[in-house]
Amino acid sequence: MPECRETWDYTLYVPNDLRAVTISRRTLRLILTMHGLIGLVDTAELLATELVSNAVRHTKGPAALRVRRTPEGVVWIGAWDTDPAPPEPPRPLEQVTDQEDGRGLGLVRACADYWGWQPSARFGNRGKYVWCELATA
């Protein structure tokens, strides 16, 4: 069984392709399972799906899924994309229940302990991380 304060950091670089969402979700499931965090898998998959989906749908460049565990025992999930503009503020879920899209960050806000965004750069490309945190205990 992994030690409670075990830290790790994984990054999966993906092309701008909707298939990357499924690949990211399955990779995240494997990472969490292998680190003994099966209880977080369903929520973490939902959050990663929303973050990576936004990254590949709303930008034209590559994206990345980053998953790490902090010394405090928090699982941090972030999606990097090539658009440096901040994401649209999440709308309350009750306002978007009948819509095809627009629920992503609302779900992230509702299911994560914390979420946010920050400017970032990869491979010389300006962009941003949209991230969320899940406590493991």
**pLDDT tens-digit readout, 10-31:** 999 999 999 999 999 999 999 9
Closest CA to 42 of 32, 34, 52: 32
Neighbours of 83 (CB within 10 A): 17
Tens of pLDDT, residue by residue over 72-89, are: 999 999 999 999 998 887
Tens of pLDDT, residue by residue over 108-135, are: 888 999 999 999 876 677 899 999 999 9
Q: What are phi and psi of 81, to 5 degrees?
A: -140, 175
- Give the pLDDT confidence score for residue 120 in this predicted structure: 87
Neighbours of 73 (CB within 10 A): 15
The pTM assigned to this predicted structure is 0.86
pLDDT higher than 50, residue 1 = no
Higher model confidence: residue 90 or residue 72?
Answer: 72
pLDDT band at 2 (very low <50, low <70, confident <90, very high): very low
- Give the pLDDT confidence score for residue 36 in this predicted structure: 96
Concatenated DSSP letters of 25-75:
HHHHHHHHHHTT-GGGHHHHHHHHHHHHHHHHHS-SS-EEEEEEE-TTSEE
- Give the pLDDT confidence score for residue 125 in this predicted structure: 74
- Give the pLDDT confidence score for residue 88 in this predicted structure: 82
